[in-house]
Amino acid sequence: MRGRASGPSPLSGAAGRLWRTLGAAFVILVFVPPLLLLVSGSLTEPGLPPSPTPQLVPDPVSGTGYRQAVEIGGLLRASVNSVLVAVVAVPLSVLVASLAGFALARLAPRTTATVVAASLVALMVPATALLVPRFAIFRALGLTDTLVPLIAPALLGTSPLYVLVYYLAFRALPADLYDACLVEDLSPMRTWWRVALPLVRPVTAALTALTFVLTWSNFLDPLIYVYGRDLFTLPLALRSLSVLDPTNFPVFLAGAVLATAPALLVFVLAQRRFLHHDDPTGRDR
């Protein structure tokens, strides 16, 4: 006989809240002090010698560093390029990874094992080992000195890891759910879009945030494929600011603040999905 399903115990809910609180406290202790010093340094007047000790509130407070960072480093144009790459690459990467993960979860077990093993092997290959063949391909296609090489990896889901994460998420859904979709004569695409994908929203939020951060902070690929300053992304623009005189360190820190703020904003928007999500039975966890 099938036993009655029991809801989550108060102890498990309290333990989950405790762990989330401890995790949030750890993140605050580790990341907030450096961010405060970063913002504080960016508000220091450029041209002054660095303070021998860190100052939380500089004297005087100045926003000149931000103006010079935009003017000298070309951060406005670089921000537009980075936004363009992220707006195209992030949704495309998540879309491809979710489709591949769903297909992998619905394959025969033997085929799935083979594909998962191949994906794990691909994860072991250093990314730097692919730079030369990728550069040769893009150069032969005449795509160097464009933003296309920065977006192209999204066509493969960016990383096999994303596909495997979606595979595990879709595989964790009840088998009866997929059987009910077959009874309702739903196609695989409609099952993926209307049933499976909404139930793994926390995974989508996490991978979206991770993909955005990796795309936004990507330095190596633009360094290899982009030559014209008009196509610089934010990491390349920040590199040009890093060679300034040491007394102009507020300019570089101001550029770092401008480059870091969008990534923090994405994590703030996604954090609700990290901590609070709906379970397939309709209860909030």
Residue 255's CB is within 10 A of a number of other CB atoms, namely 28
223, with CB counted inside 10 A (0-12, 13-18, 19+), is middle
Residue 222 located in a structural domain = yes
Give backbone dihedrals phi and psi of 66, rounded to 5 degrees, phi first.
Answer: -70, -40
- Give the domain extent around 144: 40-275
CB atoms closer than 10 angstroms to residue 127: 11
Position 11 scores a pLDDT of: 46
**Has residue 16 been placed in a domain?**
no
- pLDDT confidence bin for 274, thresholds 50/70/90: low
Each residue's pLDDT tens digit, 245-258: 766 788 888 888 88
What does the pLDDT average to over 117-126?
88
* CA–CA distance, 112 with 90 (Å, rounded to integer): 26
Q: 81 in a domain, yes or no? A: yes
Residue 57 in contact with residue 262, Cβ under 8 Å? no
pLDDT band at residue 194 using 50, 70 and 90 as cut-offs: very high
Amino acid letter, residue 247: T
pLDDT of residue 134: 92
The whole-number pLDDT of residue 60 equals: 78
* Percentage of the chain modeled with pLDDT above 90: 39
How many structural domains comprise the chain?
1
What's residue 276's pLDDT? Answer: 55
Predicted model pTM = 0.81
Give yes or no for residue 150 having a pLDDT over 90. yes
Residue 5 has pLDDT above 70, yes or no: no
Domain assignment of residue 151, yes or no: yes
Q: What is the CATH number of the domain that holds 157?
A: 1.10.3720.10
Question: Are the C-beta atoms of residues 228 and 246 closer than 8 Å to each other?
Answer: no
Q: Is 139 a domain residue?
A: yes
Ranking 48-57, 69-78, 88-97, 191-200 by mean pLDDT, the lowest is 48-57
Assign 16 a pLDDT band (cuts: 50, 70, 90). low
| pLDDT tens profile 35-67 | 888 888 888 888 777 677 767 777 778 888 888
Single-letter amino acid code for the residue at 130:
L
pLDDT confidence bin for 25, thresholds 50/70/90: confident
Q: Is residue 205 domain-resident?
A: yes
- Rounded Cα distance, 154 and 88, in Å: 9
Tell whether 97 is covered by a domain. Answer: yes
Residue 210 domain-assigned (yes or no):
yes
Mean pLDDT computed over 65-93: 91
d(C-alpha 84, C-alpha 184), whole Å:
40
Residues 209-254 have pLDDT tens digits of: 999 999 999 999 999 999 988 899 999 988 888 777 766 788 888 8
SS3 sequence of the chain? CCCCCCCCCHHHHHHHHHHHHHHHHHHHHHHHHHHHHHHHHHCECCCCCCCCCCCCCCCCECCHHHHHHHHHHCHHHHHHHHHHHHHHHHHHHHHHHHHHHHHHHCCCHHHHHHHHHHHHHHHHCCHHHHHHHHHHHHHHCCCCCCCHHHHHHHHHCCCHHHHHHHHHHHHCCCHHHHHHHHHCCCCHHHHHHHHHHHHCHHHHHHHHHHHHHHHHCCCHHHHHHCCCHHHCCHHHHHHHHCCCCHHHHHHHHHHHHHHHHHHHHHHHHHHHHHHCCECCCCCEC
Mean pLDDT (whole number) for 2-10: 45
* Average pLDDT of the chain, as a whole number: 83
